[in-house]
């Protein structure tokens, strides 16, 4: 360990991996990146000025190893690379607790095992750090043989910029189950299904698809931005009284007790491991259903209408060009 700062190996250089590596280096940490030689992100890491080594070499001398690869490759990564090559008494860090919580990975007893999860995408984690702010982080401790695991997690979160915003302690169980539930019931599954159902309802009633797109998808950003800035209270302050009244009387008609009951079913499947078991089986089978579901979303009429309308939104094209100039890889890669 260099002074009070651990030497760090980042395994994976996707959106989160790149942001973590850059922020930690700028915070004064010695950071090495572990990547497959010739892999899609090795060149990018080297262009960013990092020493990129094969993962087994990168983790061998590190005090702390951060696993920032996709969930479904972590079990094999741990078995083949991390367990045999990490030094005695090192710290193993995850940004999502799925593999540890559901016991697909059983870390060596000598390792400190912690979780640090910034509450934002990698591009935001990096951007907020660069302008002197930070994204809130949550952290957890799973194993603490050294007695210093919590301090290591806090040090890492601070290096990301999290201490500039907020750092909250959680558990691997709480982070994993709430993260999966949020994605499935509200943020991804819930929101996209609600938008598709609203679009279909209007189009089937004879309204123009273009008008339906604007009303149920395009304008959703305006509402979500208000949620983000100040919660439901701020949203209600900025929409019309007519919209507020519609919220009060019609919202509970659409999202009623039966929806909450089904949300509880989703949560139960997450808590008892059913979702993870099914997801592992799907991944190991080559993703046949995953690919079918994904293609169905791509083929939904709202996507065709949306592509045509967005092509005429000049400001969106300008934003896309700006993001492309500094884009992170969309997939985490070892």
- Binding-site sequence positions for Mg(2+): 179, 183, 215, 219
Among 175, 112, 110, residue whose Cα is nearest residue 149: 112
Residue 13 in contact with residue 35, Cβ under 8 Å?
yes
- Helix (H/G/I), strand (E/B), else coil: 263: helix
User: If you count DSSP H runs as helices and E runs as strands, how many of each does the chain have, helices first?
Assistant: 18, 8
Q: How far apart are CA 272 and CA 257, in angstroms?
A: 23
Residue 139 has phi, psi (to 5 degrees) of -145, 160
**Centroid of chain to Cα 67:** 13
Among 103, 12, 142, 5, residue whose Cα is nearest residue 63: 5
Handedness of CA 290, 39, 88, 28 (dihedral sign): negative
Residue 120 in contact with residue 187, Cβ under 8 Å?
no
Residue 301 DSSP symbol: H
The token pair that represents 255 in the structure block: 């999202």
Annotated binding site: 13-16, 36, 41, 122, 179, 183, 215, 219, 240
Other C-beta atoms lying within 10 Å of the C-beta of residue 247: 14
Residue 105 in contact with residue 78, Cβ under 8 Å?
yes
In the chain, % helix, strand, coil (3-state, to 5) comes to 60, 10, 30
The token pair that represents 17 in the structure block: 């991996």
Residue 162 DSSP symbol: G
Q: Which residues are catalytic?
A: 96
E strand or H helix that includes residue 94: strand 91-94
């Amino acid at each position: 360990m260099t002074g009070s700062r651990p030497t760090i190996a980042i395994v994976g250089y996707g959106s989160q991996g790149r942001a973590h590596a850059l922020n930690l280096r700028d915070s004064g940490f010695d950071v090495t990146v572990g990547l497959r030689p010739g892999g899609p992100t090795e060149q990018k890491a080297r262009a960013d000025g990092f020493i990129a080594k094969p993962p087994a070499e990168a983790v061998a001398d590190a005090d702390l190893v951060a696993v920032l690869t996709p969930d479904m490759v972590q079990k094999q990564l741990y078995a083949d690379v991390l367990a045999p090559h990490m030094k005695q008494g090192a710290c193993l860090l995850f940004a999502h607790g799925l593999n540890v919580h559901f016991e697909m990975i059983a870390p060596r007893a000598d390792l400190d095992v912690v979780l640090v999860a910034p509450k934002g995408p990698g591009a935001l984690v990096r951007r907020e750090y660069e302008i002197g702010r930070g994204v809130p982080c949550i952290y957890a401790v799973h194993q603490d043989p050294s007695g210093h695991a919590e301090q290591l997690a806090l040090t890492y979160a601070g290096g990301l910029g999290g201490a500039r915003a907020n750092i909250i302690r959680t558990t691997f169980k709480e982070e994993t189950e709430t993260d999966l539930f949020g994605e499935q019931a509200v943020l991804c599954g819930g929101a996209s299904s609600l938008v598709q159902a609203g679009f279909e309802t209007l189009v089937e009633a004879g309204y123009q698809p273009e008008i339906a797109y604007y009303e149920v998808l395009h304008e959703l950003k305006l509402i979500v931005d208000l949620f983000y800035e100040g919660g439901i209270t701020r949203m209600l302050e900025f929409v019309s009284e007519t919209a507020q009244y519609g919220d009060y009387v019609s919202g509970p008609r659409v999202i009623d007790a039966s929806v909450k009951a089904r949300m509880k079913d989703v949560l139960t499947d997450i808590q008892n491991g059913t979702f993870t078991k099914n997801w592992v089986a799907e991944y190991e089978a080559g993703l046949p259903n995953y690919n079918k579901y994904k293609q169905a979303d791509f083929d939904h009429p709202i996507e065709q209408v949306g592509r045509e309308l967005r092509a005429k939104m000049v400001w969106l094209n300008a934003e896309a060009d700006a993001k492309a100039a500094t884009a992170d890889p969309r997939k985490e890669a070892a």
